[in-house]
Chain A
Amino acid sequence: DIVMTQSPDSLAVSLGERATINCKSSQSVLYSSNSKNYLAWYQQKPGQPPKLLISWASTRESGVPDRFSGSGSGTDFTLTISSLQAEDVAVYYCQQYYNTLYSFGQGTKLEIK
């Protein structure tokens, strides 16, 4: 099984500042045949289902603000919020879909400082 480990577990950032969340997989999620990283990022607000923000490690979903960006390859990935807004308070999860034994990171709780 691929284990996904996020850091930090929680994060407090001032409004307008940058927030960075890391995700590390226990094995590479990069398919050499198509050069794609099978890695997604989700945002979950209280009382709501998760929302897909980024797929393929760096492809932002339609309607997701451009302050959200994903980067990384292989085993190390980052979700960056360039200028934190109040509505970005949530728990963020990474997920690998490299094989059908999908797995999520433990989540990172993002708060306002």
Chain B
Amino acid sequence: EVQLVQSGAEVKKPGESLKISCKGSGYRFTSYWIGWVRQMPGKGLEWMGIIYPADSETRYSPSFQGQVTISADRSITTVYLQWSSLKASDTAMYYCARHNSGIYLDAFDIWGHGTMVTVSS
């Protein structure tokens, strides 16, 4: 079964760092782009960025460039999203999602269950 399994919910304080994960299985991990999508409480979907695990080529939304870092570890078929200094406004559900096929521009057909990040003092 093709799936993306995300790490568990996090509660952090402002200024703390965080790295959440998304583990792919059931398919050739290096052949599909994986993206991250933010959903703030009660709000819509925002595309954050995307990575190609084969060579870690990465693209970021201008809204998130410099605010987060997306990385991948092919050896454990895992993609990461990290923050160096969290803000309260980072409180949201974060989804990872895989491209429908191995092409560069594509829709997301497989989604993780989401990781809830709460940032509060």
Which residues of A approach B to under 8 Å, CB–CB? 1, 38, 40, 42, 44, 49-52, 55-56, 61, 91, 93, 95, 97-107
Secondary structure at the A interface, as helix, strand, loop or mixed, is loop
CB-CB < 8 A to A100: which residues of B?
50, 59, 104-105
**Residue B27 lies at the interface, judged by CB distance under 8 Å to chain A:** no
A97 adjacent to B106 (CB under 8 Å): yes
Separation of A7 and B106 alpha carbons in the complex (Å):
23
Q: In the complex, are the beta carbons of B107 and A95 less than 8 A apart?
A: yes
- B55 to nearest A CB, angstroms? 15
Residues in A whose Cβ lies below 8 Å from that of B50: 100, 102
In angstroms, Cα B110 to Cα A49, docked, is 10
With an 8 A cutoff between CB atoms, is B90 at the interface?
A: no
Looking at B46, B62, B105, B113, the one whose CB has the most chain A CB atoms below 10 A away is: B105
Question: In whole angstroms, how far apart are the Cα atoms of A104 and B35 in the complex?
Answer: 13
Mask for B30-72, Cβ within 8 A of A = 1, else 0?
Answer: 0000010100000011110010000000010110000000000
How far is the CB of B115 from the nearest CB of chain A, in Å? 11
Chain B residues with CB below 8 A from A101, complex form: 47, 59, 61-62
Q: How far is the CB of B121 from chain A (nearest CB, A)?
A: 27
Taking the nearest CB of chain B, how far is it from the CB of A52, in angstroms? 5
Q: Is residue B24 within 8 Å, beta carbon to beta carbon, of the partner chain?
A: no
